[in-house]
Amino acid sequence: MRRITAALLFCLALCCSLSAGTVGYVYGNNVSSADMAGVARGQVYTDPDGNILITRKTAGEIVMFDILVSRTGIQKGAELTSRGPFMTVTARGGINHTLVSFSMTIPLYPFNPIVMVGVSYGKETGTKALVLAGAQVIVPLARLWDSSGTLIRNGKFTGTGAIGAAFGSPTMFACCYSFGYMHNIGTFCWEAGFSWLRLSDYVSVWTPYAGVGVCF
């Protein structure tokens, strides 16, 4: 039934965009149209209600969006305004290491570049300064489940992989991987998950982590 409904909404959006000469977009159960030009994957938009959306796929005159921040429901026919990249700074603290990360949206969305700096302080790794860079993937829960609940609308699965160095005695290669859940509350976000830090002397540690951040 959901597939049939999605197919009907897709056809309706296509017909609306062809007849109106505008770009149609589909998000969940909302079908809307707006005068837009130069639409590209990874481009970020805001609507009059302050919702922040990002283009994840284009097919002719049909544009699929993900909602990055939802303040109210998406209105049909809403006019979208293009804006710059969506950037996030997050501090993550765990049992064995703490990292501050910076990421931003790019045309390869849902993959984003990410850089992290921090420190390890566990018994296995010792106290070392960490500098890492890599990629982060974000999959909004609203793409997987259709719900009006804010935990679904503003929730995201996140996965991160980064490599770099651990500075101490001695300096060594380091890599870090994490998997978690992120939720946006306006310009703020919170995150929880598990992180795995591995150093070149084969020391590796798993740790649960919690984090808070700001988006701009």
Query: pLDDT band for position 181 (50/70/90)?
Result: very high
Q: Is the confidence at residue 207, as pLDDT, over 60? A: yes
23 band by pLDDT with thresholds 50, 70 and 90: very low
User: What is the tens place of the pLDDT at every residue in 65-84?
Assistant: 888 898 887 777 777 888 89
Q: Find, among 162, 195, 197, 206, the residue nearest to 92 by Cα.
A: 195
- pLDDT (0 to 100) of residue 15: 39
Count: domains in the chain? 2
Q: Does 78 share its domain with 91?
A: no
| Dihedral of the alpha carbons of 186, 188, 193, 199, in degrees to the nearest 10 | 140
pLDDT at 26: 54
Residues 52, 97, single domain; the answer is no
pTM for this structure?
0.79
Distance CA 16, CA 7 (A): 14
SS3 201: coil
Kindly state the tokens that stand for 134: 């890599």
The CATH number for 35's domain is 2.40.30
What average pLDDT does this structure show over 104-117? 96
Question: Does 183 have pLDDT greater than 90?
Answer: yes
- φ, ψ of residue 160 to 5 degrees: the values are -135, 140
Question: Which of 193, 128, 137 lies closest to 164 in space, CA to CA?
Answer: 128
Separation CA 122–CA 215 (nearest Å): 30
Whether 47 and 124 share a structural domain: no
Last residue of a domain, one of 59, 83, 107: 83
| pLDDT score, position 103 | 97
Residues spanned by the domain of 179 = 87-215
Both 79 and 93 in one domain: the answer is no
Q: What pLDDT does residue 143 have? A: 74
Among 56, 83, 110, identify where a domain stops. Answer: 83
* Judgement on whether residues 40 and 115 belong to the same structural domain of the protein: no
Task: Please indicate whether residue 17 or residue 169 has the higher confidence score (pLDDT).
Answer: 169
Q: What are the tens digits of pLDDT across the range 123-173? A: 878 889 999 999 999 998 877 766 667 778 889 999 999 999 999 888 899
Asked if 156 contacts 136 with a C-beta cutoff of 8 angstroms, the reply is: no
What is the pLDDT at residue 147?
64
According to the model, what pLDDT value does residue 21 have? 33
